[in-house]
């Protein structure tokens, strides 16, 4: 229910990039009252092992709920999967910086590390962008721009890349 509510809030706030899709897996599970750890069933079934430690097992019921709405299986490389997940996160963080929601790239990185659980050894999303190089990030995002607005970079990013600028300069 928390993920479904968060998706609804984002869809209301920025519908051009975060519109909810019909029959998304989170909503399907929410409608079936599969609330995750709250009621011990969701994408996983939660239980305790012999020692009383929490454990989770993939829930066959969740697969069955989602199956009728799944697209045909596609093959993606690890790099493609990473790009498809990181580009939208990076773009939203960039927008937060450009719109003054966060004061600096370092502040956004810390928020992602402490608030979202972004891997600390990666340094945050802006450090991720800097590591690959801003021009390379623009090129990568452009490769996926046809997938929709969440993959399309801002004019500000494009200009910074063209001028060889950095978020940490």
Residues 82 and 155 in one domain: yes
CATH of the domain at 98: 1.10.1040.50
Residues 28 and 90 in one domain: no
Residue-range definition of the domain harbouring residue 17: 2-69
Answer with the one of 69, 93, 117 that is the final residue of a domain.
Answer: 69
Cβ-count burial 86-116 (b if 16+ within 10 Å, e if not): bbbebbbbbbbbeeeebeebeebbbbbbeee
Residues 85 and 137 in one domain: yes
The per-residue pLDDT for range 108-150, each reduced to its tens digit, is 999 999 999 999 999 999 999 999 999 999 999 999 999 999 9
Residues 154 and 83 in one domain: yes
Q: What is the pTM of this model?
A: 0.80
Residues 151 and 87 in one domain: yes
* CA 126 and chain centroid, separation: 15
Indicate the number of domains in the chain. Answer: 2
Task: Tell me if 61 is assigned to some domain.
Answer: yes
The per-residue pLDDT for range 37-96, each reduced to its tens digit, is 889 898 999 988 999 898 999 999 998 988 888 888 889 999 999 999 999 999 999 999
Q: What is the C-alpha to C-alpha distance for residues 89 and 15, in angstroms, rounded to an integer?
A: 16
């Amino acid at each position: 229910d928390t993920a479904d509510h968060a998706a609804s809030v984002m869809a209301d706030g920025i519908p051009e990039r975060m519109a909810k899709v019909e029959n998304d897996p989170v909503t399907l599970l929410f409608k079936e009252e599969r609330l995750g750890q709250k009621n011990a069933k969701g994408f996983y079934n939660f239980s305790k092992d012999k020692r009383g430690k929490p454990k989770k097992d993939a829930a066959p019921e969740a697969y069955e709920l989602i199956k009728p709405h799944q697209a045909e299986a596609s093959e993606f490389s690890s790099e493609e999967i990473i790009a498809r997940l990181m580009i939208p996160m990076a773009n939203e963080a960039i927008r937060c910086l450009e719109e003054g929601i966060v004061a600096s790239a370092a502040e956004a990185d810390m928020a992602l590390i402490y608030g979202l659980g972004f891997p600390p050894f990666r340094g945050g999303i802006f450090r991720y962008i800097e590591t690959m190089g801003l021009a390379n990030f623009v090129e990568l995002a452009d490769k996926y721009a046809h997938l929709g607005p969440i993959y399309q970079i801002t004019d500000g990013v494009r200009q910074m890349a063209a001028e060889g600028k950095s978020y940490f300069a």
